Amino acid sequence: MMEDFFKDKTVLVMGLGRFGGGVDVVKFACKKGAKVIVTDLAKQDALAESIGQLEGLVVEYHLGSHEPADFETADMVVVNPAVPLDNKFVQIALKAGRKITSQIELFFELCPAAIIGVTGANGKSTTTALTAHILRSQSDRHIWLSGNIGNEPMLTIVDKIKPDDLVVLELSSFQIEQLAQSKKATQVALLTNLTLNHLDRYKTFERYCDAKRLIFDNQKLDEKEPAISIFNGEDKVGSEWFEKYGKDAGRLCIKFSPDDIPGEIRAKFGLPGRANLSNLAAAVAVARNFGVTNDEIVNCLSAFKALPHRLQLVAEGRGVKWFNDSKATTPDSAIVALEAFDCPIIIITGGYDKHIPFDEFGRKIAQKAKAAILIGQTAQVIAMNITKHPQNRAKIKFAETLEEAVKSANELAEKGDVVVLSPACASYDMFENYRQRGQQFIDLAGKFAR
Residues in the chain where the model's pLDDT stays below 70: 1-3, 19-20
Of 28, 320, 23, 329, whose CA–CA distance to 199 is shortest?
329
Spell out the domains of the chain, with CATH numbers in brackets.
8-101 (3.40.50.720), 105-301 (3.40.1190.10), 312-448 (3.90.190.20)
Query: How far, in Å, CA of 251 to CA of 418, rounded?
Result: 44
Measure the CA angle with vertex 265, ends 259 and 267; round to 5°.
Answer: 95
pLDDT, tens digit (0-9, with 9 covering 90-100), for 117-156: 999 998 999 999 999 999 999 878 899 999 988 778 999 9
10 Å CB burial of residue 204 (0-12, 13-18, 19+) is exposed
pLDDT at site 200:
81
pLDDT at site 450:
72
pLDDT at site 2:
58
Query: How far, in Å, CA of 78 to CA of 323, rounded?
Result: 38
Q: What are phi and psi of 224, to 5 degrees?
A: -80, -35
HEC secondary structure over 242-255: HHHHCCCCCEEEEE
Please give the span between the terminal C-alpha atoms of the chain, in angstroms, as a whole number. 57
pLDDT at site 435:
92
Max CA pair span of the chain: 68
Q: Residue 278: how many CB atoms within 10 A of its CB? A: 27
- Residues across the chain: 450
Of 155, 290, 315, whose CA–CA distance to 228 is shortest?
290
Query: How far, in Å, CA of 164 to CA of 298, rounded?
Result: 25
10: amino acid identity, one letter: T
Query: How far, in Å, CA of 304 to CA of 14, rounded?
Result: 36
Query: How far, in Å, CA of 270 to CA of 306, rounded?
Result: 8
HEC secondary structure over the chain: CHHHHHCCCEEEEECCCCCCCCHHHHHHHHHCCCEEEEEECCCCHHHHHHHHCCCCCCEEEEECCCCHHHHHHCCEEEECCCCCCCCHHHHHHHHCCCEEECHHHHHHHHCCCEEEEEECCCCHHHHHHHHHHHHCCCCCCCEEEEECCCCCCHHHHHHHCCCCCEEEEECCHHHHHHHHCCCCCCCEEEECCCCCCCHHHHCCHHHHHHHHHHHHHCCCCCCCCCEEEEEECCCHHHHHHHHHHCCCCCEEEEEECHHHCCHHHHCCCCCCCHHHHHHHHHHHHHHHHCCCCHHHHHHHHCCCCCCCCCCEEEEEECCEEEEECCCCCCHHHHHHHHHCCCCCEEEEECCECCCCCCHHHHHHHHHHEEEEEECCCCHHHHHHHHHCCCCCCCEEEECCCHHHHHHHHHHHCCCCCEEEECCCCECCCCCCCHHHHHHHHHHHHHHHCC
pLDDT at site 355:
86
Q: What are phi and psi of 147, to 5 degrees?
A: 95, -150
Query: How far, in Å, CA of 20 to CA of 50, rounded?
Result: 5
Query: How far, in Å, CA of 434 to CA of 443, rounded?
Result: 14
Q: Are strands 320-324 and 312-317 parallel, antiparallel or unpaired?
A: antiparallel
Q: Are 442 and 315 in contact (CB under 8 A)?
A: yes
Q: Residue 99: how many CB atoms within 10 A of its CB? A: 15
